């Protein structure tokens, strides 16, 4: 079947999750972050994801905003920045204002021009996703935003991927699923989607039973893949 629906992970795929730490590090109020922002941002993101997996396995769901705060608190302590309450507040505020990667608007416009359905499928809480979309100015280019909060468990639980078919009435083979997380793209492939891994960092493939159909440097070629 041809692709009818393109579905994107949000954080790290459409939205630059390092932007909050990078911007705060450039502000005069936070000199201690200037040389440590990249390390802190990496640890924040890693812990954020780890907590989603652990909560999913343990059946201890909390929304992504709680997980994001918990991950930040761990990363600030790990990098020796835990005592700065103003820094913590600023980083959390900036997380609601993440910018899209540069190629995102044109890519989504091309998909819509081709008549394809577009959506986000994210661990993010609805309010967080709404804030990011407004900040990035891409809301009009998406047909829907699907959050794990409607099923109460994080990816890669299959119930999350089920949301796509329930919303759009499409077969799994009609979906191109795109994620910057190798594990997410792999799990989506195992679920039955055609998946693309946006591997901006040039990381090796995860050792999992499934493999994404496509591995990309960025999102530029998504419209061409969808039209194949």
Q: What is the DSSP letter of 15?
A: B
pTM reported for the whole predicted model:
0.96
- For this structure, is 63 an active site residue? no
Cα separation, 59 vs 203, whole angstroms: 30
Q: Is the peptide bond before 156 cis (omega within 30 degrees of 0)?
A: yes
* CATH number 3.40.50.720 is the correct assignment for the domain at 5-15+98-227: no
Task: Report residue 170 CA to chain centroid gap.
Answer: 22
- pLDDT of 100 > 90? The answer is yes
Q: What is the mean pLDDT of residues 110-133?
A: 96
For residue range 150-183, what is the model confidence (pLDDT) as tens digits? 999 999 999 999 999 999 999 999 999 999 999 9
User: 120-151 as b/e, with b when 16 or more CB fall inside 10 Å?
Assistant: bbbbbbbebbebbbebbebeebbeebbbbbeb
Cα separation, 13 vs 39, whole angstroms: 20
Domain spans in the chain, listed from the N-terminal domain onward:
5-15+98-227, 19-95
Mean pLDDT, the chain, rounded, equals 97
Residue 228's pLDDT is: 79
For residue range 115-124, what is the model confidence (pLDDT) as tens digits? 999 999 999 9
Domains 5-15+98-227 and 19-95 alike in fold: no
22 Cβ contact list (under 8 Å, min separation 6)? 37, 38, 41
Q: Which residues pair with 100 in a beta bridge?
A: 15
Q: Which residues pair with 16 in a beta bridge?
A: none
* CATH number 1.10.3720.10 is the correct assignment for the domain at 19-95: no
CA angle 90, 93, 95 (to 5 degrees): 110
- pLDDT of 1 > 90? The answer is no
Q: Is 82 helix (H, G, I), strand (E, B) or coil?
A: coil
For residue range 172-213, what is the model confidence (pLDDT) as tens digits? 999 999 999 999 999 999 999 999 999 999 999 999 999 999
Cα separation, 122 vs 128, whole angstroms: 10
Cα separation, 152 vs 154, whole angstroms: 7
H-helix or E-strand spanning residue 42: helix 37-58
Percent of the chain with pLDDT over 90: 98
The active-site residue, picked from 9, 16, 63, 184, is: 9
């Amino acid at each position: 079947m041809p692709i009818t629906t393109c579905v994107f992970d949000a954080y790290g795929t459409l939205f630059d999750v390092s932007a909050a730490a990078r911007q705060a590090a450039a502000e005069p109020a936070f000199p201690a972050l200037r040389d440590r922002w990249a390390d802190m941002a990496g640890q924040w993101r890693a812990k954020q994801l780890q907590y989603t997996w652990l909560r999913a396995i343990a059946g201890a769901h909390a929304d992504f905003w709680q997980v994001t705060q918990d991950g930040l608190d761990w990363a600030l302590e790990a990098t020796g920045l835990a005592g700065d309450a103003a820094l913590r507040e600023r980083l959390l505020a900036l997380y609601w204002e993440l910018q899209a990667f540069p190629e995102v608007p044109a890519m989504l416009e091309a998909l819509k021009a081709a008549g394809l359905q577009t959506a986000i499928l994210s661990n993010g809480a609805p309010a967080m996703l709404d804030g990011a979309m407004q900040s990035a100015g891409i809301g009009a280019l998406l047909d829907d935003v699907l959050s794990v909060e409607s099923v109460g468990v994080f990816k890669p639980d299959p119930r999350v991927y089920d949301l796509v078919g329930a919303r759009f009435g499409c077969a799994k083979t009609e979906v191109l699923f795109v994620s910057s997380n190798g594990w997410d793209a792999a799990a989506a492939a195992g679920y039955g989607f055609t998946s693309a891994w946006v591997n901006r960092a040039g990381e090796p493939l995860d050792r999992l039973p499934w493999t994404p159909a496509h591995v990309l440097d960025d999102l530029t070629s998504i419209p061409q893949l969808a039209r194949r």
